[in-house]
Amino acid sequence: MNPFLQVAIGGALGATCRYAIYRVMPLAWSATLLVNVAGSFAMGLLAALLAHRLGNTWAPFLLTGVLGGFTTFSAFSLDVLTLWERGQGVMALAYVGLSVLLSLAAVMAGLALGRGIWA
């Protein structure tokens, strides 16, 4: 199957699962926490399964699609751990710090711009 189609189908499934969790969890932050932790666990489990048993044929569907639609935090977590395991601890910590700080700054800038335009 075409990898783009795999990602599209997997992304739809993952996003639907995330939405279902947000519908049943009373607090948005707790749903986000659950999705991020569960997605990161699934990313590790599936990355090991693909690497040791199945090969990369299903990676676009499972990792990029399903888990990418469910939570991109899982990809971030795998990237950080991969850097750490390769002995690039400083790069891993820099990636974490920059990702959090720049993402917070970007959402603040987006909110400010959006409020300036549409409020």
Q: Is 97 inside a domain boundary?
A: no
DSSP string, 16-83: HHHHHHHHH-SSHHHHHHHHHHHHHHHHHHHHHHIIIII-STTHIIIIIIIIHHH-THHHHHHHHHHH
Binding-site residues for Na(+): 68, 71
Q: Is 77 inside a domain boundary?
A: no
Count the domains in the chain: 1
Range of the domain at 10: 3-71
Question: Do the beta carbons of residue 74 and residue 40 sit within 8 Å?
Answer: yes
Q: Is 85 inside a domain boundary?
A: no
Radius of gyration in angstroms for the set of CA atoms belonging to the chain, rounded to a whole number = 16
Binding-site residues: 68, 71
The pLDDT tens digits for 73-107 are 999 999 999 999 999 999 999 999 999 999 999 99
Q: Is 113 inside a domain boundary?
A: no
The pLDDT tens digits for 30-62 are 999 999 999 999 999 999 999 999 999 999 999
Q: Is 16 inside a domain boundary?
A: yes
